[in-house]
Structure 1
């Protein structure tokens, strides 16, 4: 480990048990950081703000009687890929073994006891990926403002930190060291504290943050999950998928699968495409009474896993060894499942894009009628750029089971009460497996009497519609129209679903098709 002597400002290297007591700094990087190579000739970078930051950190450490300090900007030779890989994989341990961590908040002005809270909570430091482990790993974290005025400690500021980060207080409070505890012991203690949280909860901490490089959203979590893996800069979002694959090799925590679709994408994998998918996942936790775990098998092409399945006509619910925490919006402990669909030709299971969140299950429903099933699911997601600005990437339909069982759209809700189904576009209903291809219904809105006028004036581009006409066994027909518009938000197109039961205009299927054709022509 390469450390800076706080008196001479020279580098000194130590190995294993010979590493002395040291301070460490946590900060957000700016435009004028000093590198390992720069430190060899400090006169050339003395005017840089990054140089001043290191010197002031050395002075603070010296005042606290520390002979050595570690700074990530210049203590790692980032031109060496081997050294960079070792450093990133060792980062959590280095922070946990430090005697003290100085969290330097460059965007918080001089500390003012009566008005610090808002500026402190809104600091950029709480929004960066790398500072997550730097907050959690050390025994003692002391926060400083831009002028190095002391703000407080992690313990004294615990409620403000919990508010800013979404991290539970129980993970932020320090554990008391015993007199005989060594640095190695303490590193293990802090790692255990992190592992008390479920995989989904730890991922939810990351979902609020960002990094400059896409790959670092995965690499900054290695220590929090106790994972070691090689760094491949240039692989993009694949790094986050790789992190999840490594977690699967060491963990039986099914909460890894408890994420929601961040976009209207339908890649089918059980693994999340990006950290943002875990934004609402903090309340999923390992089951208090877990069943005997089944091993996973990871291959290049996908994941083999054994889970109890409940068949819901043409779709399935996979039961996870997970439950919702009592303070979630469900209100009490609940088991959890995820919607799955099976490809008829290949037998491959994929995660359905609707419902786009894990499904709370009543305790009695979980294992009644379920069957333990060996499933193979694809492991990789497509390029994240596929969800960027492109109308062709908006998911306008999904396979679902009995349409009329979703709350009973209309007067009839049983499968045996209709004899035939016609759709436009045609061939959207498979008579063999009773699968109807329609728009997802999570964001459906009942447009009311002015549905047609509102659709023609809807903001954004009209992306198409599906008409479903049921011929009922008792006579008469039921018609439902599903439509989607797409509104641009930043660099994404966000879909908005609409539906109408027995549309207010009194049309048959052929006439309704003509109306929709006119709408598409205008759009």
Structure 2
């Protein structure tokens, strides 16, 4: 009967301690819940660590850890966790038949009654899988909008969730062709929330109404293909969004250049009045309580918060 010697036991304990530490840190970066594209089921973020521990990826990781020295553990663990936990986010304009959180609580995506919203979600999940991601996030069904506390947390976390995603997929429902001038006419560039969904992601890909890539790639599309990094397309995005191209690939939230950032949303609109203020919180890196029903008072509170953190008085003159 074999037994584990003290050195092996110590190594195992060190492994588990480091794994627990890194798993906790990565789990904290995830959105509240994600769609498992393997089966179309909503999964709470805290459950994903347990799924990882029961996966073949985890078994392979442990086996590999036992064959390398301690100094190499962290890099291998972080790489394995990132590969498993990485997720794609959807950026789009809401339609009239979007699946909500309660719908996916009761059924998997593929079992929901057909609608244009369901079709969009299914196609998004399919593209997510094709790009090599297991997890998908959509604001339609991954946020429980009946919970005011969850809405508050989600709005304050939204910029970070898009920034931390492995890929953001932009669906342009009103763009069928790639002719000159078509992109800037898309309503996606007229909505308040899509501004941070353009600026936050590190990797972003645009898709037309038939779910083909806006940028033709005859050799296939990789998860790392970043449309914002294509100079000609970045210029088109800049013109359509009215945002200097330098911000598209490298944007850091701050209270600097307030007037310029206010101009970015001057031609945009939101369904709810308050969202014109709330959608800017991630851009400026500030947090204010989310109080739907306060109407224009939300923008006043945003200005007051900006004034606390910036001496730029142009926030009152834009």
Same-fold call, TM cutoff 0.5: yes
After TM superposition, list the pairs within 5 Å mapping 1:140-219 onto structure 2: 140-152=203-215, 153-156=227-230, 157-172=233-248, 174-175=249-250, 190=251, 192=252, 194-195=253-254, 198-219=257-278
Are the equivalent residues in 1 in contact too, given 2:91–2:171 (CA < 8 A)?
A: yes
Partner of 1:133: 196
Q: Give the deviation of 1:17 after TM superposition.
A: 11
Which SS does the other structure have where 1:207 is aligned?
coil
Partner of 2:285: 226
Greater Rg over alpha carbons, structure: 1
Partner of 1:124: 187
Are the equivalent residues in 2 in contact too, given 1:165–1:208 (CA < 8 A)?
A: no
Are the equivalent residues in 2 in contact too, given 1:121–1:164 (CA < 8 A)?
A: yes
Which SS does the other structure have where 2:239 is aligned?
helix
Q: Would you identify which runs of 4 or more consecutive aligned residues in structure 1 move more than 4 Å?
A: 15-19, 42-45
After TM superposition, list the pairs within 5 Å mapping 1:290-309 onto structure 2: none
TM-score using structure 2 length: 0.71
Counterparts in 2 of 1:57 and 1:136: CA distance versus 1, 3 Å = same
Counterparts in 2 of 1:69 and 1:248: CA distance versus 1, 3 Å = same
1:55 and 2:122 correspond = yes
Partner of 2:76: none
User: Is the helix fraction higher in 1 or 2?
Assistant: 2
Which SS does the other structure have where 2:169 is aligned?
strand
Are the equivalent residues in 2 in contact too, given 1:92–1:134 (CA < 8 A)?
A: yes
1:77 and 2:144 correspond = yes
After superposition, the C-alpha distances for 1:15-64 in whole angstroms (9 at most, x for unaligned) are: 59968210101000011111000113448842221111111001001001
Partner of 2:36: 5
Q: Give the deviation of 1:249 after TM superposition.
A: 1.5
Are the equivalent residues in 2 in contact too, given 1:38–1:44 (CA < 8 A)?
A: no
Of 239, 244, 266 in structure 1, the residue corresponding to residue 298 of structure 2 is 239
Tell me: higher relative CO, structure 1 or 2? Use CA pairs within 8 A at least 6 residues apart: 2
1:21 and 2:80 correspond = no
Are the equivalent residues in 1 in contact too, given 2:145–2:151 (CA < 8 A)?
A: yes
Q: Give the deviation of 1:195 after TM superposition.
A: 3.2
Which SS does the other structure have where 1:248 is aligned?
helix
CA distance in structure 2 between the aligned counterparts of 1:249 and 1:77, rounded to whole angstroms: 32
After TM superposition, list the pairs within 5 Å mapping 1:234-273 onto structure 2: 234-257=293-316, 259=317
After TM superposition, list the pairs within 5 Å mapping 1:277-426 onto structure 2: 278=318
The answer to which of 39-48 and 225-234 deviates more is: 39-48
Partner of 2:61: none
Of 96, 99, 109 in structure 2, the residue corresponding to residue 31 of structure 1 is 96
CA RMSD of aligned residues (A): 2.0
Partner of 1:95: 162
